[in-house]
Amino acid sequence: MSGDVQTDAYQRNVEALVSKLRRRYRFMSPEVLTAGLITHLRQIVGSRRAALETLVVLRQVVTKARFSNIEQLVEIIHGAGRRLVEAQPKGTSLTVAFPGRHNMDSTEFSVGNTVRKVLHHIREEYRTAAKKVPEDTALSISKLVYQGQPRRRGMAPKSETDVDLKEDDLDDTDSFSRNLKPVFMEAIQDVFDELETVYDSISKSAKDHIHSDEIILTIGQSTTVENFLKAAAHYRNFTVIVAETGPTYQGHRMAQSLSEAGISTFLVPDSSIYAIMSRVNKVILGAHAIIANGGMFAVTGSLLAATAAQAHSTPVVVCAGQFKITPLWNLYQDYSALDFSDPSNVLGFEEGDLVDKADVINPYYDYVGPDLVYAYITNDGDHPPTSIYRLIKETYNDEDIEL
Amino acid sequence: KVAPPLAAIMALTELIEKSTAGTMFELSGVLDKGTQQLTDRVPNSIGLNAGCELFNLFVTVATHDLGVLSDFKDKLVRQGNQYIAEAALYSEKIAGFTNGFVKDGSVILTHSHSRVVMKALLHAHKRKRISVYVTEAKPRGLGLKTHEMLTAAGIPCTVVLDSAVAYVMDKVDFVLVGSEAVVESGGLINATGSNQIAIIAKYANKPFYALAESFKFRRLFPLSQYDLPTHGPGILPFPRQVPPPTSVTNGQSPSDDLKDAGPPVSPSAGSLARKSMSAEQIALNPEVDYTKPDLISLVISDVGILTPEGVSHYLVGMFAG
């Protein structure tokens, strides 16, 4: 990298977010406190918040970055993205679609996805602004095959002026960045706006998906699903059955929030999901991450609900923001849990006898295959699981999949 | 030795190089005749046709930029050779992708012999421990070739009877097969037996991965096995004239003779029924079969890891974009 591209301020910003992300542990037990400084609080809760914080950091990175051609900027953002992703608490079992130097075991995918989205926008803006003929115009057979790649059409370019981009200009090293920075900042602002309005966009179609007097089953506490159901409640009268979601019992909070909004809510234990499924019209779930084959990771218990629904031919609908769509694959079919949380929630230390004799596992997420999901409702529209692959090709660039 | 589609492109490139055509019309005539001859000469021409289709598409698109014919011919030849050089590296790429799916200690089932699968297995063997079951793949018995190569590389390998695939499926972690062609529906055309293995894998809930380079993508949409270009009235017919039943000896019932498409077994002294199929009987059986896309978990290709639906998006983009 030529030029002084890593200023102190940029470093400080990245470090701040890195330390905030590092403090995110699911263990709440005091025994695990380590020396001094680190306190085990979840400083950043939720994928959307992580994505928003990432955007804030990226915005500052781009503002302060100094670059004289597009590759330098991409390299800077890649570097920042890599550090942010590596700061995640390590999970298991996922790896990159294009395996390279290392496995990216992380559990908060929205960070990486946001970085990739920003890079995608930046590349698009650069392409429109540059308007220069790419070096490899010669038609070749392999180019023909790559034409098969789905491309998003009709993105309105931001730069109207026909500026002559002076890349790698030695006399005026800042001219390139000066000309394009405002354009890039606008692009980042677009991603910001999309993230801010994600709940509203998804909830817009709520009244069309839920009919009167329907019985909906949900599990866990997903803000997206909560907003979706509350939005529908303005237009329709329906009942929601919330499963407790042990051992975290997030379902309790969800049920409370929904009933405070005036929705008729039932709270049931996870074990009765199959038993009541014959009375349920729809299953609406939230997702932690949607992966490249159309499957998803969701809170433990989701696989139970989805399988029970399939046995009764009940549609399973997943509400998730587009920033959750991840270009990764679930390579290990048996380990679906990404993250394990405190086993004492399942079998407490007070059962002294059993603690020695039993292996206690408390997985946090389930992998739900694409054949179990009927449709994904995202802020970008509704898609069947088979189209997720296509969405990924349109939203992210291949070169950015491995940061 | 080279994959059939690449061989086809090589042949067509050479054809152009040596042709004395003076106009574009003559040149396309030469190409058409070449394609036709390739298809006619080889009984199983599915792979070859894939290569021809791709090359012809390229020529069609390149014709928009037609200058002087000799320059154009040079360009075609150059592009053809360049692609062949690039394509030789595709199987490396695919081996890299597949590596992510192989866990340490995996038990893999594969079918017959495939260059791409061999590369992928040998690549995975460098870092992880794998064991491989390979089907015999009668009648050509190419599975034995795979067994030889894998054993020579130090990978524990066992040959499985084609009929014992269901028996062994519960021990297997995933199935890996090569391909002759990947079709527009996202389905797979591969040596006979692949469909069977896919059905068993689906029933046993095991992933079924197909490895295919991008030049094997074809614009075919078979609705069933019998829609394949390789299928015809000569495949698996019943005999037109049922031979009269011979006298019952050696405990053989007359109905056995009727099912034989070959000459009836003469109950000569000490001879039992033939132990293996005769050449005529083998010729009545299909060489390739079609596996439907819902049985395939993923198609791993040099253009990326694709779901079967992704393949059809690709093909439409390629040929219609």
Q: Say if the Cβ atoms of B100 and A142 lie within 8 Å.
A: no
Q: How many CA atoms lie within 13 A of B228 on its CB side?
A: 28
**Closest B-chain CA to A95:** B100
Residue A385 has pLDDT above 60, yes or no: yes
Q: How far is A252 from chain B (nearest CA, A)?
A: 35
Residues 6+ apart with CB under 8 A from A24: A42, A43, A44, A88, A89, A108
How close A98 gets to chain B, by Cα (Å)?
6
Q: Find which of A93, A96, A141 to mutate to test the B interface (most B CBs within 10 Å of its CB).
A: A141
CB-based contacts of A303, cutoff 8 Å, min separation 6: A336, A366, A367, A368, A372
Of A345, A179, A141, nearest to B213 by C-alpha is A141
A208-212 long-range contacts (CB < 8 A, ≥24 apart) are: A209/A282, A209/A317, A209/A377, A210/A236, A210/A238, A210/A282, A211/A236, A211/A238, A211/A281, A212/A236, A212/A237, A212/A238
Which of chain B's residues have a Cβ under 8 Å away from the Cβ of A150?
A: 313, 317
DSSP state of B154: T
Query: Does residue A160 surpass a pLDDT of 60?
Result: no
The Cα–Cα gap between A172 and A362 comes to 58
* pLDDT computed for residue A21 by the predictor: 63
pLDDT at A139: 61
Return d(Cα B10, Cα B178) in angstroms, integer: 21
Q: How many CB atoms lie within 10 A of CB A45?
A: 11
β-pairing, A381-383 with B130-135? unpaired
Which among B86, B174, B303 has the least Cβ separation from residue A148? B303
Chain A residues whose CB is inside 8 A of the B303 CB are: 145-146, 148-149
What is the reported pLDDT for A312? 96
d(CA A71, CA A398): 15
pLDDT of res. B25: 82
3-state secondary structure of B153: coil
Helix and strand numbers, DSSP H then E, in chain A: 14, 12
B86/A contact by beta carbon, under 8 A: yes
Contact residues on chain A for B9, CB-CB shorter than 8 A: 141
Beta strands A296-299 and A289-290: pairing type? antiparallel
Report the gap between the CA of A205 and the closest CA in chain B (Å).
Answer: 26
Per-residue pLDDT for A254 more than 90?
A: yes
Which among A174-188, A242-256, A388-402 has the top mean pLDDT?
A: A242-256
Strand partners for B176: B110, B209
B310 at interface of A, judged by CB pairs closer than 8 A:
yes
Distance CA B26, CA A161 (A): 48
* Residue A384 pLDDT greater than 90, yes or no: yes
Which phi and psi (to 5°) does residue B205 adopt?
60, 40
pLDDT band at A97 (very low <50, low <70, confident <90, very high): very low
Query: With an 8 Å Cβ cutoff, are B55 and A98 in contact?
Result: no
Closest residue in A to B206 (Cα) is: A333
Do A365 and A128 form a contact (C-beta atoms < 8 A)?
Answer: no
> ipTM of this predicted complex?
0.72
Are B286 and B231 within 8 A, CB to CB? yes
pLDDT band at A37 (very low <50, low <70, confident <90, very high): very low
Our CA-based measurement puts residue B227 at a distance from the nearest CA of chain A, in whole angstroms, of 25
Whether B314 contacts chain A with CB within 8 A: yes
Asked if B303's CB is within 8 angstroms of A145's CB, the reply is: yes
Q: Report how far apart, in Å, the C-alpha atoms of A166 and of each of A127, A131, A163, A177 are.
A: 14, 13, 9, 9
pLDDT digits (tens, 9 = 90+) for A105-156: 456 788 889 899 999 988 888 888 776 545 444 566 666 666 655 554 444 4
Do B100 and A96 count as a contact with CB atoms less than 8 A apart? yes
How many whole angstroms separate alpha carbon B236 and alpha carbon B176?
28
Report how far residue A220's alpha carbon sits from residue A287's, in angstroms, rounded to the nearest whole number: 10
For residue A397, the chain B residues in CB contact (below 8 A) are none
pLDDT score for A127 = 82
Q: How far apart are CA A114 and CA A48, in angstroms?
A: 10
Whether A389 contacts chain B with CB within 8 A: yes
- Are the beta carbons of A202 and A227 closer than 8 angstroms? yes
Indicate which of B172, B217, B303, B316 best probes the interface with A, i.e. most A CBs within 10 Å of its own CB. B303
How close B4 comes to chain A (CA, Å)? 17
Q: What percent of chain A has pLDDT over 70?
A: 73
pLDDT digits (tens, 9 = 90+) for A283-316: 999 999 998 889 999 999 999 999 999 999 999 9
Residue A375: CB atoms within 10 A of its CB come to 16
pLDDT at A84 over 50: yes
* Interface check B56 vs A, CB under 8 A: no
- Partner B contacted by A384 (CB < 8 A): no
**How many H-runs (helices) and E-runs (strands) does chain B carry?**
12, 11
* Cα of B41 vs its chain's centroid, Å: 18
CA dist A227 and A263 (Å) reads: 12
A200-393: CATH, from 3.10.129.10, 3.30.300.30, 3.40.50.10470, 3.30.1540.20? 3.40.50.10470
Spatial distance between the Cα atoms of B321 and B319, rounded to a whole number of angstroms? 6
Q: Where are the alpha helices (DSSP H) in chain B?
A: 4-18, 24-41, 46-62, 69-87, 90-99, 115-127, 142-152, 165-168, 194-203, 254-259, 279-283, 308-320
Query: CA B82, CA B265: separation in Å to the nearest integer?
Result: 56
Residue whose token pair is 């080279």: B2
**Does the structure show a pLDDT above 80 at A207?**
yes
Q: Choose from B182, B301, B307, B318 for mutation: most chain A CBs within 10 A.
A: B307
* B305 vs A contacts (CB less than 8 Å): 97, 292, 329
Q: How far is B58 from chain A (nearest CA, A)?
A: 6
DSSP H helices, A70-205, are 70-86, 109-130, 141-146, 175-196, 198-204
Flag whether pLDDT at A30 surpasses 50. Answer: no
Residue B215 touches partner A, C-beta closer than 8 Å? yes
Chain A positions touching B80 (Cβ under 8 A) are 141
- Higher per-residue confidence, A327 vs A217: A217
| Pairs of CB atoms within 8 A across A/B | 84
Contact at CB, A145 and B214, closer than 8 angstroms:
yes
Q: Does A387 touch chain B (CB under 8 A)?
A: yes
Q: Do A95 and B100 touch (CB under 8 A)?
A: yes
Query: What letter would DSSP give residue B138?
Result: T
Rg (CA), chain A: 23
Dihedral sign (CA A29, A32, A37, A38)? negative
Chain B residues in contact with A328 (beta carbon < 8 A): none
Low-confidence ranges of chain B (pLDDT < 50): 248-262, 264-270
Contact at 8 Å (CB) between A314 and A277?
yes
CA distance A397 to chain B (A): 13
